[in-house]
Amino acid sequence: MISSDLSPYLAGLAVVATAAYWLNSQRPNLRSIPAMGPTGLFSSYVGAYDYLRNAPKIVQEGYKKYKSSVFRVPYYDKWVVVVSSSQLVNDLRQSRDEDLATVPAFSQLFAAPWTLGSGFTDHNYHIKVIQSPLTRSIAARFTDIRDEVAAAFEDEVKLPGDDWVAVPALAMVLRVISRASNRLFVGLPLCRDPDYQMLTVKFAMGVMEGAKKINLFPHFLKPLIGPWLTNLPRDLEHAKKHLVPIIEERLRLEEEHGPNWAERPSDLISWLLEYAKGEERTPHMLTQRMLMVNFAAIHTTANSFTQALFHLAQGPEYVEPLREELEAAVAEEGWTKSAMSKCIKLDSFLRESQRYNGTSAVNMNRMVDNPNGFTFSDGTHVPHGTFVVAATYATHHDGENYENPNEFDGFRFAKMRGKDEDQGSIKFQMVAPDAKYLSFGFGRHACPGRFFAVNELKLMLAYVLQHYDVRLEGPRPPTEWFGTLAAANHSAKVEFRKRQT
């Protein structure tokens, strides 16, 4: 006999079981794909718990075990299929959007409806804006961006004479990148406004924090809890205070003088207005779009630079060769984009840092959008609705792809450029993704902001090399993992001193 006090619990259990059964029946059927961890109705949640804590390790194990094929890993809200070879990465790269779509995949990854706003899934014209006018403007705006990097470091790193000063690295880097990026996005004086700067940083980090929490819930609960776990409405109102007056003024000037009026600023607001259509042209939607681009630009670049700064502080042997190269390039070309292109070692150091300590264990998020599913070139078939990714971290630490993959070799790619006669000059530069280097994705959807990001990263590292000596207080601060997402340690400090030699 069951005692009557237990009945509420049993009733509760029955509800949970029914919900779990129903949830499972809503998921794509992936029974034929080998799974990392248990696959039972309830036990798969134990697997998801384990995965949240050990994602890079589990993906790497699967990558080795199912080499040249696919396997699946459990998230709280879905199973995700991971591809394990260059051939299959090429399938992702070459696939059409009708078969493997990025928008619904990114939308889930960032819990976009709640963290980034409705505009994210409806329109993505900002990608074209970044690919074309923004990227084309880098050379012309180079001096401005360099000026902002310099001014930002001067404000952030207050040197006490010749002594060392310890600076919380990630927080400082986030503010420098917000300023440098927004010098291009909105120009002076707004890019230096402390309130605007704080908002852009807070928003960029807030999207990731919100997404991490929201994605712990099953899909059908997300619309209920999503609004409670995001700062979007508040941040959007805050951003509008800064941006709406500027946007309204631009719309008015365009109305008066046509789209290409004489003194139109060369900034993100102008470029967005070139491409935005219909409902996207309201100050509200344009502010949302400005925040989206700030998010895409700030959190990734800041993690990448902080990791590189840790590598530099940890590897004093790199400092002299990097300074020599930089000074020679600047002597020849002045402070220009082409001087930066000549800094092959600097480029290699940043690329290696991103290979070794990237921002995510998996990249190239795609969702199967074809109602008939998708068939990989090795014959593996996955149904409609399946989430597919490439194993970035495992690919970057695969001995078949890199000699001594677990060793940080700052000039690895500079040496590879030296060896490859034909393509050496471009093939291994940081902006060039390939099947073995997936930090920016690969193919048509590869990060459109990478040309700007790499330029900014180089300018920042160049500024540090030119003005400071850096060192770490202790051992290299461990990366903070949340599932597959990696973030540079958020409290670690780097010590700066006035350059001595």
Ligand X SMILES: *[C@@H]1O[C@H](CO)[C@@H](O)[C@H](O)[C@H]1NC(C)=O
Q: Which of 466, 450, 452, 475 is nearest to 498 (CA)?
A: 466
How many amino acids of this chain bind ligand X (CB under 6 A)?
14
Stretch that binds ligand HEM, among 158-166, 188-196, 270-278, 300-308 (CB under 6 A): 300-308
169 binds, among ligand HEM, ligand X, none (CB under 5 to 8 A by kind): none
Using left for φ > 0, alpha for ψ between -120 and 50, and beta otherwise, residue 364 falls in left
Q: Are 180 and 459 in contact (CB under 8 A)?
A: yes
Pairing, β 79-83 against β 387-390: parallel
Q: How far is the CB of 395 from ligand X (least distance, A)?
A: 12
Return all residues near 491 (Cβ < 8 A) that are at least 6 apart: 168, 477
8 binds, among ligand X, ligand HEM, none (CB under 5 to 8 A by kind): none
Is 410 a binding residue for ligand HEM by CB under 6 A? The answer is: no
Is 476 a binding residue for ligand X by CB under 6 A? The answer is: yes
449 binds, among ligand HEM, ligand X, none (CB under 5 to 8 A by kind): ligand HEM
Among 102, 115, 137, 197, binds ligand HEM (CB under 6 A): 102
Stretch that binds ligand HEM, among 197-205, 358-366, 397-405, 487-495 (CB under 6 A): 358-366
Is 462 a binding residue for ligand X by CB under 6 A? The answer is: no
| Separation of alpha carbons 232 and 239, rounded Å | 10
Where b means 16+ CB within 10 Å and e means fewer, 449-461 reads bbbbbbbbbbbbb
Phi, psi torsion values for 178, nearest 5 degrees: -60, -45
Query: In 391-478, which ranges are E strands?
Result: 468-472
The interaxial angle of helices 450-467 and 319-333, nearest 10 deg, is: 110
Is 395 a binding residue for ligand HEM by CB under 6 A? The answer is: no
Q: Are 176 and 152 in contact (CB under 8 A)?
A: yes
343 is in an annotated binding site: no
Is 130 a binding residue for ligand HEM by CB under 6 A? The answer is: yes
Is 474 a binding residue for ligand X by CB under 6 A? The answer is: yes
446 binds, among ligand X, ligand HEM, none (CB under 5 to 8 A by kind): ligand HEM
Structure tokens at 289: 């779009």
Is 296 a binding residue for ligand HEM by CB under 6 A? The answer is: yes
**Contacting ligand X within 343-372 (CB under 6 A):** 356-358
CA 330 to chain centre: 30
Q: Tell me the residue type at 376.
A: F
Q: How far is the CB of 442 from ligand HEM (least distance, A)?
A: 6
Stretch that binds ligand HEM, among 62-70, 399-407, 410-418, 440-448 (CB under 6 A): 440-448
| Separation of alpha carbons 72 and 65, rounded Å | 12
Among 271, 376, 440, 468, binds ligand HEM (CB under 6 A): 440
Residue 248, CA distances (Å) to 61, 178, 225 in order: 54, 23, 34
Is 479 a binding residue for ligand X by CB under 6 A? The answer is: yes
Is 477 a binding residue for ligand X by CB under 6 A? The answer is: yes
Among 44, 69, 288, 301, binds ligand HEM (CB under 6 A): 301
Q: How far is the CB of 201 from ligand HEM (least distance, A)?
A: 14
Q: How far is the CB of 396 from ligand X (least distance, A)?
A: 8
Residue 497, CA distances (Å) to 360, 364, 482, 494 in order: 32, 40, 33, 10
Give the total residue count for the chain.
Answer: 501
Task: Specify binding-site residues.
Answer: 447
Residues that bind ligand HEM (CB under 6 A): 102, 126-127, 130, 293, 296-297, 300-301, 304, 359, 363-365, 439-442, 445-450, 452-453
Residues that bind ligand X (CB under 6 A): 356-358, 393, 474, 476-480, 486, 489, 491-492
